[in-house]
Structure formats: structure tokens, C-alpha cells
């Protein structure tokens, strides 16, 4: 039976001028038509198709166009904007952030953005597909596709990850015993070596066989990886993966969240610490393993809370590695179902919150009701940050300044730290 759904109408090739770059990094021409890897002001010839077109030819390139540094650019879906000059690209990101806040009728001061450099990403998620018996194919998904683009280099990644690509391909080889397995290798650079958490291995059939686990461990040992986990379960460990967070050394739980770029983490933490200066008591909500907690505790006592119990255990264990702190208390707490109440923040003058992409709506209501003089929001999602900022502003705060943070280099993604004051 033929589908009754209307098929997208194909239109002929067209010459047009790109007017802007959209939220996913594609150029936008009148129509609107969307074309990847194009820049504002460029005259282009677009292939026949619907609203989204391939580019047949760039007829008049923008003066802001540069040569992409990665041989996989254009096929790999990991980067969208390597062809854009860095100052213009960064200005576009900050402009998008300002527009997102403006939709909530919020104006503020934008500080100079932090911009990550190439070869600084310490964590990546590599997809694996079955290849040879002794080596899988490893890389990133293609643009708007489930197909895999196998990579040999990755200019955004820490050189230690790039150097380990052959070993990671061998590591993934025994993961395909079940036809439904589609493994992802979550690779993190730590002080002890690479930490790899593997997800996507079919478990209903009993998971990996004993032989496959032995092969996994032997490959990890030969590559001198620190730890291999399967959905958080340790399959091999030579050393405990650790990171330095300010004055503390933290042992990472399997799959623990870290900021993607250590230099971005350091810049955000220094900014947060400076904005909290003079506080007598600080709350660090959605604290994770203590990205901001330990730096803040050098200045004032901190109460830390997060929904991940394993992160709180790691944070608590690391307190002993930094003996000159002002004091840290920590609790595992679901801040959506059970946000820290305004009454509990009674003696807290600065609240830091760093929620996941969904934002901190429930917690923002309590911060707005509290007597805190300052709130500092860290966000990986400008849209939910703007929503939560409106809650705080309606509760008597003002958003005084924002630090834009570009740590996902050459992607459309922008992060930020915002400072709220009464």
C-alpha cells in the first residue's frame, strides 16, 4: 500500500545569496532554503531539492571563508562551521545567545567570550561499527544520518585521544557478538590515562561473553588504558581515573560528567569564584563531582547537592585531598522532585547552579523566593537558561553580566555563565 503522506516537492537548481546562518549552522537563503557549509553574503548554486539543499558550487565566496583543518569535514557530522573565520564565527555564536535572551525580554552585559582552541577536547563519544575481526570501524555519525564516518584524525580532540584511535578500534572489535549491538565509546582523558565507558552493547542476550571480556581486557592492558567500563560496570581497571578540580584530586565514577575542555572548565570556575567573592555561605546545586565546589570552598563554606549519588560519593571522598578548605557538606538529592527550598537557603548569600540541558525550573523558583543576594547560573542550553533567568528576574534579581563560553569548537553550540544580583 502506498503512503498517503505528501512527499516533499523537489524544485530545480537555483542560484541565490545566503543571508544568514541558522541555529544548526546551515546557511539560509530566501525561501527559506537551507544549505550546509555556506556563509552570509555568499552567492551559491544549490542543487535541486526541497527546503534543504546541497551546494553545487560557491559562485562568490565570503571573505570570511577559510580552509577547514579537518580532512573529514563535510562528511562527519561532528563539526558544522570549520569553514568560517574564528572572529566572525564567535560573534555569530554570541549574537545567537543575545537573541535567545531577548526572546525573554532580557538585556545584559556580554563579556568577551572564552574560545576553546583545537586539540583541547578531553572527552569525546566515538561510535563503533563492525569491521575486521581485530579492529572495528570507529568515528562519528555523518550529517543527519546514522551512517558512520570512520576517522583517522580529529582536530578538536586532545592529542592523546587521537593517538589512541588505533587502540580504540581494536578495543571495540569484540563488542559485536549480538547483531543489535551499536557501541559508543565515551572516552575521557584523565591524569591516570584514558577512561572508556562503553554503552550500546546488547545486554538481553547476556551481554559480552567471557572470551570477549578477556579480549577487551587484554587490549586495554596492551594500550595502557586506565579503566574500561560497560554501562558503568568495571570490565578492566589498571588505575583509578582522576582529575584535578582546583585544589582537590577527584576519583571519577564510571561515566561521570566533566566539562569537555579543561581550559574552559578553568575559565568558568575562575569566573564563578570571582563572582562569589565575599560570600559567607555558598550553595552549589547540580554540583556533579565538584567542578565548582572545591574552588568555591577555598573562599567560604559550601553546601553541594546533586542527583547523582555516585558523584556525591566521589566529591565527598576528594575532600580529604584538599585540607585547607573552608568546609564542604554534600548531599545526593533530586533537585527536580526535591529542590533545595528557599527556607533551606536562609543563611546562604550566593547560590551557584549548573543544571543539565533541561534547566533548573523548579530550583529557580526556590532561588527566586530565597534571600540570596547573588545567583550564578552555568548553562549548556541558552533556551532553558533564558527561561530560568526570567523566573529569577521576576523574583527580584537582574542578570548583570554573562560570560559566553565556546568549548564545543566549530559546532553551533554555545554555553554561558550568568551572574544575577538583587
Annotated binding site: 259, 286, 306, 354
Cell 571495540 sits on residue: 172
Catalytically active residues are 380
Contacts of 352 (CB under 8 A, 6+ apart): 272, 276, 282, 283, 284, 285, 292, 296, 375, 376, 377, 378
CA torsion sign for 113, 118, 121, 125 is positive
Distance of CA 178 to the CA centre of its chain: 30
Contacts of 116 (CB under 8 A, 6+ apart): 261, 263, 264, 406, 407, 408, 409
d(CA 377, CA 389): 9
3-state secondary structure of 417: strand
Phi, psi dihedrals of residue 269, rounded to the nearest 5°: -65, -40
d(CA 193, CA 119): 17
d(CA 68, CA 60): 18
Cα-Cα end-to-end distance for the chain: 63
Bridge partner residues of 303 (DSSP)? 283, 329
The angle formed by the CA atoms of residues 293, 298 and 304, to the nearest 5 degrees, is 25
Left, alpha or beta for 224 (phi > 0: left; psi -120 to 50: alpha)? Answer: left
Q: How distant, in Å, are the alpha carbons of 172, 282, 302, 311, 398 from that of 108?
A: 47, 24, 28, 33, 9
Contact 131, 124 (CB under 8 A): no
Contact 203, 178 (CB under 8 A): no
Contact 174, 216 (CB under 8 A): yes
Amino acid at each position: 500500500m502506498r503512503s498517503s503522506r505528501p512527499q516533499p516537492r523537489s524544485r530545480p537548481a537555483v542560484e541565490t545569496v545566503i543571508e544568514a546562518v541558522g541555529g544548526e549552522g546551515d546557511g539560509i537563503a530566501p525561501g527559506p532554503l537551507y544549505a550546509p557549509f555556506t556563509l552570509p553574503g555568499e552567492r551559491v548554486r544549490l542543487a535541486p531539492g526541497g527546503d534543504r539543499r546541497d551546494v553545487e558550487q560557491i559562485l562568490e565566496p565570503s571573505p570570511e571563508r577559510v580552509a577547514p583543518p579537518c580532512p573529514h569535514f563535510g562528511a562527519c557530522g561532528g563539526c558544522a562551521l570549520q569553514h568560517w573565520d574564528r572572529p566572525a564565527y564567535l560573534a555569530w555564536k554570541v549574537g545567537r545567545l543575545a537573541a535567545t535572551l531577548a526572546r525573554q525580554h532580557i538585556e545584559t552585559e556580554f563579556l568577551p567570550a572564552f574560545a576553546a582552541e583545537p586539540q583541547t577536547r578531553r572527552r569525546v563519544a566515538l561510535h563503533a561499527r563492525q569491521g575486521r575481526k581485530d579492529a572495528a570501524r570507529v568515528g562519528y555519525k555523518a550529517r543527519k544520518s546514522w551512517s558512520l564516518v570512520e576517522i583517522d584524525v580529529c582536530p578538536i580532540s586532545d592529542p592523546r585521544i587521537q593517538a589512541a584511535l588505533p587502540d580504540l578500534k581494536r578495543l571495540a572489535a569484540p563488542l559485536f557478538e549480538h547483531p543489535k549491538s551499536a557501541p559508543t565509546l565515551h572516552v575521557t582523558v584523565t591524569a591516570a590515562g584514558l577512561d572508556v565507558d562503553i554503552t550500546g552493547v546488547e545486554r538481553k542476550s547476556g551481554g559480552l561473553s567471557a572470551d570477549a571480556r578477556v579480549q577487551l581486557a587484554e587490549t586495554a592492558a596492551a594500550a595502557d588504558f586506565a579503566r574500561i567500563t560497560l554501562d558503568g560496570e568495571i570490565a578492566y581497571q589498571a588505575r583509578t581515573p582522576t582529575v584535578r578540580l582546583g585544589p582537590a584530586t577527584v576519583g571519577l565514577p564510571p561515566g561521570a560528567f566533566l566539562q569537555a575542555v579543561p581550559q574552559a572548565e578553568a575559565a568558568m570556575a575562575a569566573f564563578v569564584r570571582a563572582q562569589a567573592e565575599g560570600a559567607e555561605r555558598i550553595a552549589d546545586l547540580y554540583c556533579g563531582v565538584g567542578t565548582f565546589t572545591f574552588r568555591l570552598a577555598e573562599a567560604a563554606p559550601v553546601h553541594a547537592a546533586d542527583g547523582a549519588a555516585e558523584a556525591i560519593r566521589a566529591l565527598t571522598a576528594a575532600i580529604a585531598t584538599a585540607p585547607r578548605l573552608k568546609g564542604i557538606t554534600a548531599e545526593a538529592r533530586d533537585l527536580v522532585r526535591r529542590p533545595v527550598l528557599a527556607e533551606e537557603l536562609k543563611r546562604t548569600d550566593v547560590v551557584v547552579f549548573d543544571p543539565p540541558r533541561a534547566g533548573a525550573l523548579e530550583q529557580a523558583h526556590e532561588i527566586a523566593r530565597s534571600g540570596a543576594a547573588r545567583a550564578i547560573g552555568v548553562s549548556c542550553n541558552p533556551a532553558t537558561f533564558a527561561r530560568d533567568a526570567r523566573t529569577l528576574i521576576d523574583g527580584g534579581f537582574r542578570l548583570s553580566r554573562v560570560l559566553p563560553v565556546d568549548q564545543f569548537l566549530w559546532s553551533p553550540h554555545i554555553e554561558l555563565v550568568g551572574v544575577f544580583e538583587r
